[in-house]
Chains A and B, each alone.
Chain A
C-alpha cells in the first residue's frame, strides 16, 4: 500500500490532466448510455404513433449521441495517451535524479545490461499506472453517481438496486478477484525470472551441458518451470473470466431489479413505460465502465512490484556526499596515496590492503599486477566513485574528500579499458569531455588521437554503445576525449587492454605524446616498454609487494621479474 501511494504520488503533477481524461472517459460512457436510452425512447415513443414531430427530439438524440460517443472517445484516447507519456517523462527524470548520486557505487549490482534493462522496463510499465490503474475506478465511480441521479429521479428503490449491483461489480468483484489472484502475477514474474536464468544457462552453457550429459536435465527444468507458469496463467485467466462473468451477472441483476421495482409504478401510472424501457437500456450500457476494472486489479500488483524494485534501488544511501564547503582545486598535482584500504561490499577479500605510493607532479607511475590484484580500485577511489575504508588520497597536499567531486573529476582524465560511447553522434560523445569546445578543437583532438579520418564524420552516429566503431577507434576516441578534457592528471586504466598488439603499440605512442608533461598514473597488467615509467608499483592481492624502476625490479628477480618473463617468453 505504501509503495502504491508513493507511486501514485509521483503522478500528482498531472492530477488535472488525469482528472480531465477521466471526465472525458466518463463522457464517453455517458454518450453510450445516452445513445441506448435515446434509441429506446425513440422506439417506444414511436410505438404510440404520435406525430412525427414528437419523435424529432429522439432522432436528434440518437444522432447526437451516435456521433459524440465516437468523437469523445477519440479525444479521450488522445488525452490519456498524452498524459501517459507525460508521466513517463516524469518517471524517467525522477528516477535519473534519484539514481545519479548513487552511481556507480550503489549500482554495482546492476552492472549487467539485463538488470538495467529490467529497470528501464519497470519504469516503462509504470506508465500504465494512470491509464490502467488509476483511471478506470474514477470513471466507474462517476458512472455509478450518474446512474444514481438518473434512476432515483423516477424510483429510489430502483436506484438503490442499481447502486447495489454497481457496488458489487465495482467493489466486491474486484476485491474478490484480487484476493483470489493474490500472488499470481508475482509468482508468474518469479517463474519467468527463473526460466530466464535457466534458458541463458542452457543456451550459453550448451557445450558443457553436452559433455556432462546434462542437456536433458536443463530442458526438463525449463519444462517444469513452464508447466508451473502455465498453471498460474490458467488460474489468472480463470479469475479474469470470473470477473467478467460476475460483472455480466451484476448487470442482469440490475435489469431484473429495475423491472421488479418499476413495473408496479408503471401499473399505477406513476412512471410511463417509455421511461422504464429507457432506464433499462441506460443501466445496461452503464456497465461498460466496470469491465476495465479487471485490468486495473491485475496491474496494481505488477506495478507495485515494479515500484518496490525501483524504490529499493533509489532508497540506498549515496556512497559519496560532496563536502558542504569544498576547497579550491590545488595548483600542484603531486599525488600522495597513504595506507589505502578498501573492500567491496559483499566480498570478504580486501581489494586494497594498506597501499601507499606517490606520483610527483609531471611524473609517470605504473601500477602493475595480475588481474584481480585491486589495481582498478585505485582509479575508483581516486575519482571518488567509492570512499576508502581507511587511508587517504591527496592531490597537491589536499585530501580529495575536501574537494568538490565534480571539480576533482574535471581535473582527472581517465581512459579506461572499456570506453562507453553513447548512442549519439561522435560530436556529442566528444563534447562530453569539453562541452564548450569548438569544432576546430574537436578536429584537432581527433587528429592527435590518430582519428584524422573521423574529422568529417563528426555528425555520424556512433551506434549503440559505439558499435559503428572498431575497438581501436573507440579507445582512440577516449584518448581524444582525454585531450579535449586537458586535465593536469591523467589516469590510464588498462587503456589498451582489449586491443591487438599492433593497435596497442600505436595507441601507446599516442598516449605518451598526449600525456606529455602531465601527472600520469598508468594501470596495466601488460608489461610493455616499462622503462618509460619513473616508478613501478607492483600490486598483488591488494598489497604493494614491490616497487622501483623497471631495471631495479628486474634485477631484484622477484614477482615483477616473473611476470615480465612470462609475458616475454611466448
Chain B
C-alpha cells in the first residue's frame, strides 16, 4: 500500500498540517455534494417551472457560495499538505547533514561521497511527492467516495449500488495491470538512463572521437541509438498506457451505466428528476478520486526508494562515538607526552587488523617519523590521532587523560594537519585560509603565505586573495594546493602538527621550497609525520617503522642502522637504486 514505516514516522511528527489538510479535504467533499445538490435543484427548477432569473437567484447564490468554498477548501488542503511536507524536508535535511557531520571523515571518505551528496539533496527532494501528493490523495480517496456514497444512497440507491460494485474494479485493475506496467515502466526508465548515459558518454569522449577523426561518423550513431530507444520504449508504453485506458474506461463506462439506468428509470417514472440528476453529477468525481490515487501512488514511489537511502544514513547515528567534554589547553599539549597504549584498529569487513597493539610514547616537542611499506598502518595511526576513527582496542592518552575525555572541538583546536592531498573548498583563497583561523589579520595571512612560499603566486593573480578556487574557479596545481595547506597550518599555529609528507618526485625546485617550509613549520612543535623521503626520516628525533599494523622498529637513524631489519634494508635498497 506504499506505506513506508520511516516516512510514516516523519509524518507523525508533523500531524497538524496534515490533519488540517484532511479536514479541508472532508469539507471540500461536503461542498462538492452541496454544490451538486444545489445545481440539480437549479436545473430541476428551470425544467419544471421555467422561472425568472430573480426567483432563481437565491439558489444561484448558494451555488456560487458552495463552489467557491469547494475551491478554497481544495486549495487550503493542498497548501497545508505542502507546508507540512516542507517542514518535514527541513527536518530531514537537518538530521541528515547532522548525522553525516557526526559520522565524520571515516564515513564520508568511504568512497561513496557522490551517493551521500545525492541522498542529502535529491533524496530529500524526492520524498516531496509522497507527502505533498500521495498522502493527501490517500485522505481524499478515503473521504470523498464515502461522502459521495452517503449522499447518493438516500437519493438513488441503485446508483449507489452500481458505484459500490464498480469501485473495487479500480484497485483490482490497478494492482493487476499496475504490477506489469510498473515493471515495464521501470525497464523503460532504465533504458532511458542508459540512453542519456550513451549521449553523455559521446560528449565526454568527444576529444577521443576527434583524435581518431571519428567525431562526424558517430553522429549517426547517436541518432540511431536514440531512435532505437524510441521504438523499444514505445513498445513498453503501449502496454503501460493500457492500464490507464482500463481505469479510465471503468470510470467513463461506470458513468454511462449510471446515466442510462437513471434515464431508463425516470422514463418509467420510478425515479424523480432531482435525485437522479444529483447522483449523476457526483459520479465522475467518485471515479476520478480513486483513479488519481493510482497516479499519485506512482509519484510517491520515488520517495519510498529515497527514504530507504536516507534511513541507511540516519540509522548509522548509533555508530557515532561519544566524545567527552573536557577542554584541552595548548599548555597541556606542549608539556605532556602522547601515549599510545596497545592501540589497535580493524576496518569493518576485514579480518586482519590495520593496527595491532602499538605502544608508543611521543614526547612533547619532538619529531616522530612514521615509515614502512604501504598498508603498514601509518595512515590509520594518523587518523586515530586525528580522532577520525576510534580505536578497536587500547587508547591514546595525553599525559594521564584518555583522548576521548576531551571534547572534539578542543582537541582539533590544538592540532594542525597537513594531508597529502589537501581539499580546497569552492571559495576564495582568503576563505580557504581563514578556515584555519577565523580572526587572522591581513599581516598574519601574508606571513603564512610567505612562509609557505605562496605569496608571490597569490599576488600575481588578478584577484589576489579573492580568487575563487576549486571546481568553480581557478584550479591550483598539486604543489600549490600543498603549499596552501602548509599556509593553513602556519596560520593555525597549533602545538601538535600531524603531517603526511607530500610525494612529488617531479620538480626539484618545488621540492626544495616545500622542504624548507616544512622544516620551518615543524620548529618548536610536537610533530608526527608520515615520512617518505630519506632525508626527512633521517632528521627525525625518532623513527617508527610499521609493518602490517605492528610496530617493528623504533629509534633514531643511527640506532636503526646498526641493527638488522626493515629499516636498514629499505635504506640500502634505495641507495642501490640511486646508484643504478
Contacts and interface: CB of A to CB of B under 8 A. Distances in A.
Contact of A96 (B94, B197, B222, B570): B222
B573 to A, nearest CB: 8
Interface string B88-123: 011001100110110011001100010011001100
A273 B266 contact: no
Given A214-B435, A568-B577, A78 B238 contact: yes
A264 B212 contact: no
Contacts of A457: none
Nearest to A478: B208
Contacts of A530: none
Contacts of A407: 213
Given A43-B259, A46-B264, A213-B413, A410 B46 contact: no
A410 B209 CA distance: 11
A213 B412 contact: yes
Contacts of B53: 259-260, 263-264
A45 B269 CA distance: 12
Given A192-B121, A203-B113, A223-B93, A44 B234 contact: no
Contact of A215 (B101, B201, B504): B101
Contacts of B200: 116-117, 120
Given A69-B252, A85-B230, A211-B386, A383 B113 contact: no
A242 B226 CA distance: 39
A267 interface: yes
B273 A223 contact: no
Contacts of A202: 97, 100-101
A195 B426 CA distance: 12
Contact of A212 (B245, B426, B435, B471): B435
Nearest to A76: B241
A170 to B, nearest CB: 17
A569 interface: yes
A372 B505 contact: no
B386 A420 contact: no
A385 to B, nearest CB: 7
A570 to B, nearest CB: 3
A66 B108 contact: no
Given A222-B97, A237-B78, A568-B580, A207 B507 contact: no
A55 B267 contact: yes
Contacts of B230: 82, 85-86, 88-89
A406 B267 contact: no
B210 A263 contact: no
Contacts of A183: none
Interface residues of A, number: 143
B507 A43 contact: no
Contact of B425 (A42, A205, A525): A205
B71 interface: yes
Given A212-B435, A223-B97, A248 B574 contact: no
Contacts of A433: 212
Nearest to B124: A226
Nearest to A192: B121
Nearest to B100: A203
B205 interface: yes
Contacts of A147: none
Interface in B533-574: 533-534, 570, 573-574
Interface string A350-368: 0000000000000000000
A283 to B, nearest CB: 12
A85 B477 CA distance: 43
Interface string A58-93: 110011011101110110011001100110110011
A552 interface: no
B161 interface: no
Contact of B82 (A58, A234, A255, A565): A234
Interface in A321-342: none
A43 B280 contact: yes
A201 interface: yes
Contacts of A45: 263
B164 interface: no
A438 interface: no
B420 to A, nearest CB: 11
A395 interface: no
Nearest to B49: A267
Given A252-B67, A485-B212, A207 B97 contact: no
Main SS class of interface, B: helix
A107 B206 contact: yes
B43 A59 contact: no
Interface stretch (B56-64, B167-175, B303-311): B56-64
Given A409-B212, A423-B201, A66 B253 contact: yes
A55 B196 contact: no
Contact of A73 (B233, B245, B277): B245
Nearest to B132: A237
Interface string B417-431: 101001101110000
Nearest to A237: B82
A210 B105 contact: yes
B217 interface: yes
A563 interface: yes
A245 B75 CA distance: 7
B203 interface: yes
B360 interface: no
Contacts of A124: 196
A565 B578 contact: yes
B249 interface: yes
A413 B74 CA distance: 67
A233 interface: yes
A300 B509 CA distance: 56
Contacts of A242: 75
A119 interface: yes
A38 B580 CA distance: 98
Given A211-B386, A277-B43, A370-B506, A570 B242 contact: no
A85 B229 contact: yes
Contact of A104 (B39, B64, B207): B207
A414 B211 CA distance: 8
A249 interface: yes
Q: Which of A38, A81, A464, A465 has the largest number of chain B CB atoms within 10 A?
A: A81
A422 B577 CA distance: 39
A370 to B, nearest CB: 3
Contacts of A214: 435
A213 B409 contact: yes
Contacts of A569: 534, 574, 577-578
A211 B101 contact: no
A206 interface: yes
A411 to B, nearest CB: 10
B320 interface: no
Interface in A382-435: 383, 385, 406-407, 409-410, 414, 419-420, 422-423, 432-433, 435
Nearest to A563: B508
A213 B435 CA distance: 8
B472 interface: yes
B507 A370 contact: yes
A3 interface: no
B68 A252 contact: yes
Interface string A26-38: 0000000001101
Contacts of B86: 230, 233-234
Contacts of B202: 96, 422
A35 B252 contact: yes
22 contacts: A35-B255, A45-B263, A49-B269, A58-B263, A65-B252, A66-B252, A81-B234, A89-B230, A100-B215, A104-B210, A117-B200, A120-B196, A200-B113, A208-B425, A234-B83, A242-B75, A255-B63, A256-B64, A266-B50, A569-B574, A569-B577, A570-B575
Given A43-B280, A252-B63, 15 more contacts: A92-B199, A112-B471, A208-B423, A210-B408, A212-B435, A212-B436, A216-B101, A222-B93, A244-B71, A248-B67, A263-B56, A370-B509, A371-B478, A420-B208, A435-B214
Q: Which 6 A-B pairs have the closest CB atoms?
A: A570-B574, A370-B507, A562-B508, A89-B226, A66-B256, A85-B230
